Amino acid sequence: MNVAEVMTARVSWVGPDTTLTEIARRMRAEDIGSVPVAQSERLVGMVTDRDIVLRAVADGGDVGRRTAREVMSDGILYCFEDDSVESVLKNMGDNQVRRLPVMSREKRLVGVVSLGDLSRAVERKAADALKDISQPAKAPGPANSPAPGPASTQSGA
């Protein structure tokens, strides 16, 4: 299963010149903690609620005039839409992140995937495997019975 099958395709993103007040209001309205920063459909950064607090509010001054460009995290992590769910889960765990922007191979922002999205996909996969395993075994019939021949036995010592 790949990320495109479980990601949220409706991406909320902002431009680099979006004010922090507008970003915070969007985070509240959409109940999200991070927003990708994009310019011409290219990902250029990420603003988290933590970035706003630590890089703007804690510094004082007029937070309403500060922009995404001033507080966003550079060098952001992302995954590709054709990456496997398992590899992205490992990457998120290794880097201790809860959400990743999802990119096309042309480096266009196409979605966001959360740890919850990936976990539900793995649970479904495990549930399907359990269902398959729990099916009763097929009774031997003419097509499934062993070929006639001498029976072998082993004795334990």
Nearest CA-CA partner of 23 in 58, 59, 53: 53
pLDDT tens digits for 13-69?
Answer: 999 999 999 999 999 999 988 899 988 878 899 999 999 999 999 988 788 899 999
CATH architecture designation of domain 3-125: Roll (3.10)
Phi, then psi, of 137 in degrees rounded to 5? -70, 145
DSSP 115: H
Matching residue, tokens 């706003």: 52
Domain extent listing, the chain: 3-125
- CA-nearest of 12, 11, 34, 16 to 104 is 11
Q: pLDDT averaged over the chain? A: 82
